[in-house]
Structure 1
Amino acid sequence: MNLSKIIALVKASSKNSLYLVVLFILAESAVFFTSLYLLKKLVDIVAHVQQHSEQSYRQILIYVIAAGVAGVVYLMIRSYSAYLVEAQAARVAEYVNEQIHTRAVNLDLSFYESPSYYDTLKRAMDSGAERPSLIITTLIELLKNAASLAAVGAVLILINWMLLPLLALFILPTLFVRLHYSKKLNDWRIAQTPLERKSAYYSTLITTDTAAKEIRAYDLGNYLKNQFVAIRKTLMKEKLAINLKRTRLESFTTAMSNIGVFVCIGFIALKTVSGETSAGDITLFLVAFPQSFTILQNIAAGISLLFQNSIYVNSIFELLELKDRLSEPREQPAPLPQQGKELVLENVSFTYPHAAVPTLKNINLSIPSGRIIAIAGLNGAGKSTLIKLLCRLYDPGSGKVLLNGTDIRNYDAHEFRKMIGVVFQDFNRYSFTAAENIYLGNIQAPFDERRAKEAAEKSGAATFINSFPKQYDTVMGRLFEDGQEVSIGQWQKLALARCFYSDAQFLILDEATSALDAASESGLFDTLREKLDNRTAIVISHRHSSLKHADYIYFLDGGTIVEQGTDQELMALQGAYAKLFTEKDLSTPQ
């Protein structure tokens, strides 16, 4: 159990409030012990009272009032203590949620292309932000129970020192069974995480709009549902089998602990017969013994719960302690150039983690400032991987990516990425307003409405945005109320507007017109140079209508550059590039 890490996490989430909670817990226990002591004194006085004694009346009255005051104070402290524990738990839950999302945001892209990362993320999310809070709550309850046990146990020890050890001895087996099966269930949970994720994937397909059209078009609903149900039944069967074994053992050990209770009762009964205990002790035993047994059971259950939640929280620490693979400059990052920017790839090769075959091999290309550079090739040629290297989402396995002659690994990664604006082929659709969709291109500066409208004009998005009653304040998509559904081509125009709105020097357009109609695509590329405002465009496409506007073209095949030159030069070569666009079935825009 990483209690030190958990306590550090709790302290970080709420500063000094943890100490206040502990202080109230200690005060609550102290007052509880005081009330028990006053009750014992009251019983002893009543047992030895002399009839019609004014002094006895006065003493009884004093102890009754004192015990009553102690009881009221105890209840008040207990109420405030419960509130403080609840507030502490809420702060911890919010802090853990924030830490999980912060780590998820800052991790390298490589993690999001790794199944093992999704296993780690699922376990962390399943552990829940509330578990650290439960651990602290459980720890506090254990402290309370320990303090209460000290108070009540001290009374039992005064009666007979063997009572408390006997109780503890009979309760320990149940605790060991619970700890053993908590670990066993956690090991099972870790082993079955991939299957849990698979069932969650089927559930997402069934219940969201991700595949709603195809599911209905191909009548896939029952098939997907049956796959989901089969996995859930397998997981349920395995989990119940473990729980059944735990229940059998726990029922036996619980029966043994109850036998222990009667052993203790028999023990004190024999002591009473022999006259070794007083009337006050017997009365106190009847009050303290059941409480001691309950407290010991609560402590055993608390330890078990603490252990179970702690091993779950380890999954959160597993996520938070993941290390980025992209290296940052060891010394002061190099300042970014202000003008005359040029990107160059020198002998760049790259192999994805866990892959055996390189995706890119010995790539050499130059992207000078103010030009339109195109990268062409069939699917799987390495175009998307090249984009990831240019955006520094990955670092090359060998070779260098240079900006004005400086290896981009010498720049701060976040600052460097501000120089790159990109419209990915699988661009995201944000269910925000049209204005916010565009503003996401440069959130570091205050929103500039005029600039956003100019970006929308350049991308062609202004036409449909202005047709909405709320125009730029219209929520895109039907995910939320009052949202406006738009076509995939209109979403793509919004993504283009976001790119144009950015301050980036290099704009990467990865199949950025794939969803546009022929007229929109032609209009964009016919005036692309004008829309760039002296910035550099990197066009990735397999459409001749897009590529022919480029100043220079690199043609990839099998992860290497096999041809390069202008469109006219490459067509004249009659090589792979020309073949791609002279075969009728490939030259027709899709």
Structure 2
Amino acid sequence: MRLVWGTSRGLFLGLVLATLVAGLLPALAAWLGQRIVDAVVAAMQLHAQNGSAPLWPVLRYVLLEAGVLALLSGTQRALSVQQSLLRVQLGQKVNTLILQKAQTLSLVQFENSEFYDKLVRVRREASTRPLALVMKSLGLVQNLIMLISFGVLLVHFSPWALVLLVVGALPVFFAEAHFSGDAFRLFTRRAPESRQQSYIETLLSHETYIKEVKLFGFAPLLLQRYRDTFARLYAEDRRLTLRRDGWGFGHGLLGTAAFYLAYAWVVIDAVHGQISLGQMTMYLVLFKQGQSAVSSSLSAISGLYEDGLYLTSLYEYLAEPVQADTGHLTVGACPGDGLRFENVGFRYPGASRPALENIDLQLLPGKSIALVGENGSGKTTLIKLLTRLYRPDQGRILLDGSDLQDWQETALRRRIGVIFQDYIRYQFSVGENIGVGDTLAFNDPQRWQEAAAQGMAAPFIEGLDKGYATQLGRWFAGGQELSGGQWQKIALSRAYMRRDADILILDEPTSALDPAAEAAVFEHFSQHTEGRMTLLISHRFSSVRNADHIIVLQQGRILEQGAHEQLIAAGGHYAQLFDLQARGYR
């Protein structure tokens, strides 16, 4: 309720008012129906006795009932309109809450499959469940108002009639409540399989994957896996549906029997003259609508249970623990001291061995370090620790003499310009693709051009039809696709957007470039990194050899370190790797 109130107070109050009115009007319409029938019977008797009868006593009730039904129709329409408007706003609010929460969580949490299942689960029903919970609550209130007003009229017939009305609907309620819990538990348990289905859909329909899927002839196997997963999920759905509806039908017969027992009771009383024809009509309408209201109320309660289970998942997600940013520094204790790793170690959750262990290194302003090692040796993990996407399990990382955890996150990240190996190809314009590197200058064309010149992307951008306004990618109309090397220059330009960044991190920055372009990039790079700290990851030794200091990682540990000439002279692992790569150019 608080969630809906915070979304739109006006719509919420409108729903409450419309619910109250819609709850009172059916009883009033039933009472007017009795008056119409009794007035018609009285008029028929007068007509039989006198040869004529006044019509106004009948017509006034007809007009009143018409007005009530028109008002009821308008109220129901108001409920529908307000529901539709609130559904959109509430869905947006809940999705925003989910996405905002996601920005406060650590990268390690996103890499946990159980957490990701929870995230997918709450997002999938974010736009429907919260409003359904509120509408069922208001529907329950509406039905209770109807039942109270019906009860006031039915009690004149017999208090036992009310008992019969409620008892007849209880079996259906118990069945619905039981199967609602089963449905939610089934939905929760198979979240990983549902997510796998979505992933297969992406593989079969996304431009990034479709070319490889087609060339390898992988589609039939994927489709079969998709069908098998669907068949398994459908079998579970089918069993639950058959059980739910089977039991519901059986229990529904008990409710029908209760209604017709009451029906017979009312008819017999009318035949014996204990109630009038109009009262008989009213009581039958009250029983029919009352039974429907009781069933709806009990179904709403079981539905509230199921929706409440969903909201439990939502609030569990929103309550996911967040590592508080306790950092407050914007300037280090020893400016100019650079970066230091002191006995740093990190282990991924559930991993059998550390990803990094006993890492000690120092990077001074104006100097560069290159990280070399086989895949999985810990190079990218080290970068994620440096950018505080991860926190070390042991040791500490210092920037200008102060622990990285003591730095204010915004101040720290403004000092870092980074290009990851798996950089994002945004389906935005060229300028926005570059501007994302510094959101403070996201819409600044002058800064785009300066960064593109430094990243060696300016020449090909100026050759595009719309220059920096060119839409990139094929997802949207008018989009233009770039080559791998051109995309890499865009990503490199993105790193140059941060003028204040004195730490440049380059993870395979030239892997998609030809040798001539790579040489030009590094020549240009050396001219624009004066006074900055540079950390480079590359498998190309033509790039690595120019670094001031080279660190060779193996299984998360530092195996060798030194300048290129020192490592070659030592004849160790680095020298072997360099010789292997050099043979390919001889």
- Class of the TM-score when normalised by the shorter of the 2 chains: over 0.9
Q: Where do residues 4-19 of structure 1 align in structure 2 (5 Å cutoff)? A: 7-19=1-13
Equivalent residue for 1:415?
Answer: 411
Residue 465 (str. 1) matches residue 461 (str. 2): yes
Equivalent residue for 1:424?
Answer: 420
Equivalent residue for 1:363?
Answer: 359
Q: CA deviation at 1:146?
A: 2.0
Equivalent residue for 1:117?
Answer: 115
Instruction: Supply the distance in 2 between the matched residues of 1:64 and 1:128 (Cα, whole angstroms).
Output: 46
Instruction: Supply the distance in 2 between the matched residues of 1:257 and 1:528 (Cα, whole angstroms).
Output: 80
User: Is contact 2:36-2:278 (8 Å) kept?
Assistant: no
- Amino acid in structure 1 at the alignment position of 2:132: L
Residue 452 (str. 1) matches residue 444 (str. 2): no
Equivalent residue for 2:525?
Answer: 528
Q: Where do residues 29-178 of structure 1 align in structure 2 (5 Å cutoff)? A: 29-41=23-35, 43=37, 51=46, 63-178=61-176
Equivalent residue for 1:4?
Answer: none
Number of aligned residue pairs: give it: 579
User: Is contact 1:372-1:529 (8 Å) kept?
Assistant: no
Equivalent residue for 1:256?
Answer: 254
User: Is contact 1:120-1:318 (8 Å) kept?
Assistant: no
Shifted more, 119-128 versus 380-389: the winner is 119-128
Unaligned runs of 5+ in 2: none
Residue 335 (str. 1) matches residue 335 (str. 2): no
User: Is contact 1:127-1:313 (8 Å) kept?
Assistant: no
Instruction: Supply the distance in 1 between the matched residues of 2:189 and 2:347 (Cα, whole angstroms).
Output: 28
Instruction: Supply the distance in 2 between the matched residues of 1:198 and 1:76 (Cα, whole angstroms).
Output: 46
Shifted more, 470-479 versus 315-324: the winner is 315-324
- Amino acid in structure 1 at the alignment position of 2:524: T
For the aligned residues, what is the CA RMSD?
Answer: 2.5
Equivalent residue for 1:189?
Answer: 187
| TM-score (normalizing by structure 2) | 0.92
Instruction: Supply the distance in 2 between the matched residues of 1:251 and 1:57 (Cα, whole angstroms).
Output: 46
Residue 554 (str. 1) matches residue 548 (str. 2): no
From 411, 422, 434, the equivalent of 2:430 is 434
Flag the 1:38–1:254 CA change in 2: closer, same or farther, 3 A.
closer
Equivalent residue for 1:291?
Answer: 289
User: Is contact 1:159-1:281 (8 Å) kept?
Assistant: no
Residue 220 (str. 1) matches residue 218 (str. 2): yes
Residue 537 (str. 1) matches residue 534 (str. 2): yes
- Amino acid in structure 1 at the alignment position of 2:426: Y
Equivalent residue for 2:471?
Answer: 475
- Amino acid in structure 2 at the alignment position of 1:568: E
Residue 387 (str. 1) matches residue 403 (str. 2): no
Shifted more, 9-18 versus 505-514: the winner is 9-18
SS in structure 1 at match of 2:369: strand
Instruction: Supply the distance in 1 between the matched residues of 2:545 and 2:9 (Cα, whole angstroms).
Output: 61
Unaligned runs of 5+ in 1: 1-6
User: Is contact 2:372-2:550 (8 Å) kept?
Assistant: yes
User: Is contact 1:178-1:250 (8 Å) kept?
Assistant: yes
Q: CA deviation at 1:273?
A: 4.2
1:388-411 residue CA offsets vs partner (Å, 9 max, x unmatched): 000000100011111111111112
SS in structure 2 at match of 1:349: strand
User: Is contact 1:145-1:299 (8 Å) kept?
Assistant: yes
SS in structure 1 at match of 2:506: strand
User: Is contact 2:19-2:142 (8 Å) kept?
Assistant: yes
Instruction: Supply the distance in 2 between the matched residues of 1:475 and 1:261 (Cα, whole angstroms).
Output: 66
Flag the 1:81–1:216 CA change in 2: closer, same or farther, 3 A.
closer
Flag the 1:216–1:51 CA change in 2: closer, same or farther, 3 A.
closer
From 359, 368, 374, the equivalent of 2:370 is 374
Q: CA deviation at 1:173?
A: 1.0
Q: CA deviation at 1:240?
A: 0.9
Equivalent residue for 1:484?
Answer: 480
From 503, 507, 516, the equivalent of 1:519 is 516
- Amino acid in structure 2 at the alignment position of 1:204: T
User: Is contact 1:580-1:587 (8 Å) kept?
Assistant: no
- Amino acid in structure 2 at the alignment position of 1:473: A
Q: CA deviation at 1:425?
A: 0.9
Instruction: Supply the distance in 2 between the matched residues of 1:179 and 1:486 (Cα, whole angstroms).
Output: 56
Flag the 1:292–1:547 CA change in 2: closer, same or farther, 3 A.
same
Instruction: Supply the distance in 1 between the matched residues of 2:103 and 2:349 (Cα, whole angstroms).
Output: 20
Flag the 1:513–1:371 CA change in 2: closer, same or farther, 3 A.
same
Equivalent residue for 1:229?
Answer: 227
Equivalent residue for 1:25?
Answer: 19
Instruction: Supply the distance in 2 between the matched residues of 1:280 and 1:234 (Cα, whole angstroms).
Output: 56
- Amino acid in structure 1 at the alignment position of 2:423: F
User: Is contact 2:470-2:480 (8 Å) kept?
Assistant: yes
Instruction: Supply the distance in 2 between the matched residues of 1:556 and 1:440 (Cα, whole angstroms).
Output: 32
1:345-371 residue CA offsets vs partner (Å, 9 max, x unmatched): 111111011212111111111122222
Q: CA deviation at 1:334?
A: 2.2
Q: CA deviation at 1:463?
A: 1.9
Instruction: Supply the distance in 1 between the matched residues of 2:278 and 2:169 (Cα, whole angstroms).
Output: 27
Q: CA deviation at 1:85?
A: 2.6
SS in structure 2 at match of 1:537: strand
- Amino acid in structure 2 at the alignment position of 1:335: T
Instruction: Supply the distance in 2 between the matched residues of 1:209 and 1:446 (Cα, whole angstroms).
Output: 27
- Amino acid in structure 2 at the alignment position of 1:28: A
Shifted more, 364-373 versus 73-82: the winner is 73-82
User: Is contact 2:338-2:533 (8 Å) kept?
Assistant: no
Q: CA deviation at 1:525?
A: 1.3
Instruction: Supply the distance in 1 between the matched residues of 2:503 and 2:344 (Cα, whole angstroms).
Output: 19
Instruction: Supply the distance in 2 between the matched residues of 1:370 and 1:15 (Cα, whole angstroms).
Output: 58
User: Is contact 1:377-1:383 (8 Å) kept?
Assistant: yes
SS in structure 1 at match of 2:360: strand
Percent of paired sites with the same residue: 32
Instruction: Supply the distance in 2 between the matched residues of 1:120 and 1:28 (Cα, whole angstroms).
Output: 38
Flag the 1:376–1:234 CA change in 2: closer, same or farther, 3 A.
same
1:105-155 residue CA offsets vs partner (Å, 9 max, x unmatched): 332111221111221122112224122112222222222222222222322
Instruction: Supply the distance in 1 between the matched residues of 2:66 and 2:10 (Cα, whole angstroms).
Output: 32
Instruction: Supply the distance in 1 between the matched residues of 2:208 and 2:178 (Cα, whole angstroms).
Output: 42
Shifted more, 46-55 versus 184-193: the winner is 46-55
Equivalent residue for 2:244?
Answer: 246
Q: CA deviation at 1:63?
A: 4.5
- Amino acid in structure 1 at the alignment position of 2:319: E
Equivalent residue for 2:313?
Answer: 315
Q: CA deviation at 1:499?
A: 0.4
Q: CA deviation at 1:524?
A: 1.3
Q: CA deviation at 1:542?
A: 2.3
User: Is contact 1:89-1:137 (8 Å) kept?
Assistant: no
1:494-534 residue CA offsets vs partner (Å, 9 max, x unmatched): 10000011242211000111111111111111232212253
Q: CA deviation at 1:64?
A: 4.7
SS in structure 1 at match of 2:344: strand
Q: CA deviation at 1:284?
A: 1.3
Q: CA deviation at 1:340?
A: 3.0
User: Is contact 1:336-1:416 (8 Å) kept?
Assistant: no
SS in structure 2 at match of 1:303: helix
Residue 573 (str. 1) matches residue 567 (str. 2): no
1:75-113 residue CA offsets vs partner (Å, 9 max, x unmatched): 333333332232222211111121122222332111221
Flag the 1:461–1:220 CA change in 2: closer, same or farther, 3 A.
same
